[in-house]
Structure 1
């Protein structure tokens, strides 16, 4: 079987590429691979701190191998400088360099061919006349079914967070209790709110109709006409003015309005009968938030930041009834399938997760309560979008305050929160991808590189990562599937190659592509002992 000591591991287990193999030498045969107690896997941090890169981001698009391989040019490629041809190390296809590489020579090599540049990052520029970099979007969803003291803690943290945001960042505000209130920040003359009933599930189309963001407008209001051009928001990405300028505004334009709204915010006024829980419609609030972002900024990086103070007791996503005599479901109830609301709530959040993934948006949850808030039901929506979860006893607790502040901090303390990413894998033909474990969702890109055995999210070579940061890590599982030709003398390549390609929206707004290409040795099982 393969021996981890057969190839020396780097001093830093992850190395400059932020990649760690379970085995630094891989068996050639499927039989030998099956004898490995530890599976063939790779842990990778797709967007680790850019300081670890050997070169600054490259200001031109990457050069790709011909389909179906589509691997990016990398230091392991064999280059014929005279014929201006490069051979892909993964599929051995011959590719011609395009005209703008005409000056390439042994003494004039592009950065992506430098030996030390096994990880490179490209700046993806749009065509001439394309919009400026996209602003980050933060939509705050605040639970008002809390006591006044807790709400004051929330207001204080919100003010600090807004002060830390870059001036061009877009922000929006949703508050909820018995009903959902969507605040129109663009109407600064007075407080203008759209109210949604919390007891009823509402579709995305109904949300857009009520907000006047659909083609038909709202009953009794003039039909909204889509303007032939779209206006730039603060010099940023062109977005439909009627939606964005009403509900999502740059911090520089709405800081005063937002501060006034926070000052006026009160605990939910709906009366709570003795022996009952507060009427809290968490599911409808998150549904409205997702619908708004889907209408205003689809395909643009955005985060829904939910501040929850208790369990959902009304509408879709309910986890417990209003009656205090009914306890919140326990692990024992879930094991026995005795939680009456669980499956229905999971189904609701599964649908919400699919909607958020298709839009490229993230759900973060800050739960500050002594009671449960329903994270078991929300798990799918948070995990699949790469969201963050923080649990604390109170909004005044340092765990909440410090964690909430950390999201918005810049400089050396920044988490490097990135958005709207896609993670792809290319590898040598004798290697198959079993799947990925981590905060991502399958894009169902099936092909010859997919293994029959599935681990985690498999049967694909591409995954969506709505939210990722410098500490985000994925584990990829592989299988060995040698072809007949690769086992013949003269056709055995001593090296295997794997390439990870991550496309994502940088915190500064630009779209970037980071490619990491790594190589390890094949070993013959007959010459090694277990």
Structure 2
């Protein structure tokens, strides 16, 4: 008999979904008593090499208020060639091309193993991908030159038919015209004045839909085909490859003189405004990526973060708490508006910041929050850390040699009538699609059943929150499981429109009479990731102590629900003996397992309280925004590594094994590998270090020692997550 751990792992591998509770309470009151909310951590584009592509359109429910996709949970009548939707119970007839189906000849979407299926839409027109580089020129030559080399390298990785563009900025903003043979031409904008889409259209003579076009609804997988406008500023790479390479190579440092004791005047806000307006005026609702490279904070114009004089320090957490930041609110308002405009049109904004001071990620966090863009924080563009990270952005899959990224995606959630959707925490914006299954209690981005995720990749994960709206257990049909369906429309990097549909189901249980059955399906790892996102969301609104007190209250309520104790006697606390899922298993073993399950959850919460996600001591506002952004977009496994780092021991005594995060794990004849997700560290014990300095690993008689030294390095390359936009790096400490 498979265990719950096997069940959870199998479902995550197949569907990319993990639930906090895998057995659902049948009433609203009992669900509220479970403390940890019902939520699903879903990775919509989780890589599955064995996933069969369906080269046809999905079959939708005929009811206009439902429009769920045909799935294995639907009841099928093969004689009448009809099916009943498992969400609204509407009877639908199959299309004509399904006439040959039978019990022995089923399409993939009716086979239980294919609870996740991806449709390749053939009727939708191929859309070009767009890459717009926005480069800060207020940098020293030591940083600007390697940045130019990285940009030229990226041109060799971008498909020839992709559209590319270039904007440079310092005190002024230059929008470069491409396709000019033998000379360069650009349009210059003042760095102190914002640029609207209408103004840009009038000044540059651009056509297109303008900034007022509304985004396509989630129910339209293809969306309006973007106009094949080849304007002077966004050209196919194959037409301007040589010219753009030379243009990037000719980028010079901003010529305006910087007086001693001052910061360079940097118009980051206006440069981004020009980029967003250009894409909004020419390619609305199309897959596009704005890649911003900055070496310091914005010091003039809209989006200004700090003054020109170095005597004015950039804001700290203490300044934010006292509301003593002169430019903070205006900058946040400017970048928030730009991010929303970009997200509504399906455009992604990446931030690659390399500076020794804060470049303003705290104010610009909305770009990652709304558009799903990457946020990279480093010290210099001349480090291997940035170069390798930037190259990973253009990583391609092993099957079709396409980018591991999606564009202009939307996620729609369907659920059984006993459930309602509270909202999502993750990189997205609302599509304002109301339905009967939308709850009035909002968590994260709520009040809708559909969200837009402009930038999505195989590692992007969102947390979807649900609530049980059923009032009485008897109202649930006997033997009828509850179901959820996640429909993801997105533009593949090849330009093809695709739809991935995931349908999952779980059984109901009466928590009032059968609590052990519900508690047996508790996934403490997913619960820790979900509670971490909730705590981070609260930390953006409430004070730090209030968030910690809220977290403590939740832990106390959890122990009260599942623990047994005598009042005023702490030593009497223990978890209930009846927390058993399988009665035929020896009860003592089940008690230990259930106790370990909850203790593991409490352990994660202990580390979360002390983590940089909630504690701002020794962190700048930019660093806090960076860490919280990563937590809100990674899957369960990576979230847990961020919360509680892993420590592995390597020795001659056996295979590598996890050890405690304690000084007692440091031994002379042991090698330790610490993975914090943001940092990977290899520690050599005193004896191991002396042997290495003596060169024993180079002698043929000490092959085992050489393999022991190499093992953590090889594992570090694997656990260096290889995730796009993350500055994971490796340190060797002896």
Do these two structures clear the TM 0.5 threshold for a shared fold by scoring above it?
yes
Question: What is the SS of the residue equivalent to 2:369?
Answer: helix
Match of 1:510 in 2: 496
For residues 18 and 240 of structure 1, the distance between their equivalents in structure 2, rounded to whole angstroms, comes to 35
Residue 37 of structure 1, CA deviation: 2.5
User: Is 1:175 equivalent to 2:163 in the alignment?
Assistant: no
- Note if contact 2:339-2:370 (Cα within 8 Å) is conserved in structure 1: yes
User: Is 1:351 equivalent to 2:344 in the alignment?
Assistant: no
Residue 50 of structure 1, CA deviation: 3.7
Residue 169 of structure 1, CA deviation: 1.4
Residue 405 of structure 1, CA deviation: 0.9
Indicate the structure (1 or 2) with the bigger Cα radius of gyration. 2
Matches within 5 A, 1:443-458: 443-458=431-446
- Note if contact 1:16-1:52 (Cα within 8 Å) is conserved in structure 2: no
Match of 1:64 in 2: 60
Match of 1:233 in 2: none
Match of 1:78 in 2: 75
Match of 2:30 in 1: 32
User: Is 1:192 equivalent to 2:185 in the alignment?
Assistant: yes
Residue 86 of structure 1, CA deviation: 0.4
2:143 to 145, 150, 157: 150
2:470 to 463, 472, 482: 482
Give runs of ≥4 in structure 1 deviating > 6 Å: 5-8
- Note if contact 2:483-2:504 (Cα within 8 Å) is conserved in structure 1: yes
- Note if contact 2:402-2:494 (Cα within 8 Å) is conserved in structure 1: no
Residue 470 of structure 1, CA deviation: 0.3
- Note if contact 2:65-2:435 (Cα within 8 Å) is conserved in structure 1: no
Residue 452 of structure 1, CA deviation: 2.3
Question: What is the SS of the residue equivalent to 2:464?
Answer: strand
For residues 502 and 156 of structure 2, the distance between their equivalents in structure 1, rounded to whole angstroms, comes to 36
- Note if contact 1:40-1:479 (Cα within 8 Å) is conserved in structure 2: yes
Match of 1:224 in 2: none
Matches within 5 A, 1:265-414: 265-412=251-398
Residue 28 of structure 1, CA deviation: 0.2
Match of 1:225 in 2: none
Residue 213 of structure 1, CA deviation: 0.9
For residues 299 and 18 of structure 2, the distance between their equivalents in structure 1, rounded to whole angstroms, comes to 45
Residue 273 of structure 1, CA deviation: 1.8
CA RMSD of superposed structures (Å): 1.9
- Note if contact 1:386-1:439 (Cα within 8 Å) is conserved in structure 2: yes
Match of 1:113 in 2: 110
For residues 507 and 36 of structure 2, the distance between their equivalents in structure 1, rounded to whole angstroms, comes to 17
For residues 503 and 520 of structure 1, the distance between their equivalents in structure 2, rounded to whole angstroms, comes to 24
Matches within 5 A, 1:492-507: 492-507=478-493
CA shift in 2, pair 1:414/1:81, >3 Å:
closer
1:204 to 197, 210, 231: 197
- Note if contact 2:226-2:285 (Cα within 8 Å) is conserved in structure 1: no
Larger relative helix fraction: 2
Match of 1:222 in 2: none
For residues 395 and 475 of structure 2, the distance between their equivalents in structure 1, rounded to whole angstroms, comes to 57
Question: What is the SS of the residue equivalent to 1:377?
Answer: coil
**Alignment coverage as a number of residue pairs:** 495
Match of 1:427 in 2: 415
Residue 483 of structure 1, CA deviation: 5.7
For residues 310 and 257 of structure 2, the distance between their equivalents in structure 1, rounded to whole angstroms, comes to 15
Greater relative CO (CA pairs within 8 A, separation 6+): 1
For residues 9 and 344 of structure 2, the distance between their equivalents in structure 1, rounded to whole angstroms, comes to 40
- Note if contact 1:504-1:513 (Cα within 8 Å) is conserved in structure 2: yes
Residue 245 of structure 1, CA deviation: 3.7
Question: What is the SS of the residue equivalent to 1:517?
Answer: strand
User: Is 1:462 equivalent to 2:450 in the alignment?
Assistant: yes
Match of 1:231 in 2: none
Residue 274 of structure 1, CA deviation: 2.1
Residue 214 of structure 1, CA deviation: 5.0
Residue 462 of structure 1, CA deviation: 0.2
CA deviation profile, 1:372-411 (whole Å, cap 9, x unmatched): 1111111112210000011110001122111111111324
Residue 51 of structure 1, CA deviation: 1.1
CA shift in 2, pair 1:280/1:249, >3 Å:
same
Residue 458 of structure 1, CA deviation: 0.7
For residues 351 and 244 of structure 2, the distance between their equivalents in structure 1, rounded to whole angstroms, comes to 21
Question: What is the SS of the residue equivalent to 1:140?
Answer: strand
Residue 67 of structure 1, CA deviation: 2.1
For residues 454 and 201 of structure 1, the distance between their equivalents in structure 2, rounded to whole angstroms, comes to 34
Residue 304 of structure 1, CA deviation: 0.3
Residue 44 of structure 1, CA deviation: 0.5
CA shift in 2, pair 1:326/1:10, >3 Å:
closer
Residue 521 of structure 1, CA deviation: 0.6
Question: What is the SS of the residue equivalent to 2:507?
Answer: strand
Matches within 5 A, 1:239-254: 239=227, 241=229, 244-254=230-240
CA deviation profile, 1:503-525 (whole Å, cap 9, x unmatched): 00011110000000001110112
- Note if contact 2:339-2:366 (Cα within 8 Å) is conserved in structure 1: yes
- Note if contact 2:134-2:169 (Cα within 8 Å) is conserved in structure 1: yes
For residues 324 and 40 of structure 2, the distance between their equivalents in structure 1, rounded to whole angstroms, comes to 39
CA shift in 2, pair 1:252/1:488, >3 Å:
closer
Matches within 5 A, 1:1-16: 9-12=7-10, 14-16=12-14
Match of 1:528 in 2: 515
CA shift in 2, pair 1:49/1:488, >3 Å:
closer
Residue 84 of structure 1, CA deviation: 1.2
For residues 257 and 26 of structure 2, the distance between their equivalents in structure 1, rounded to whole angstroms, comes to 69
Residue 314 of structure 1, CA deviation: 0.8
TM-score (normalised: structure 1): 0.90
- Note if contact 1:198-1:281 (Cα within 8 Å) is conserved in structure 2: yes
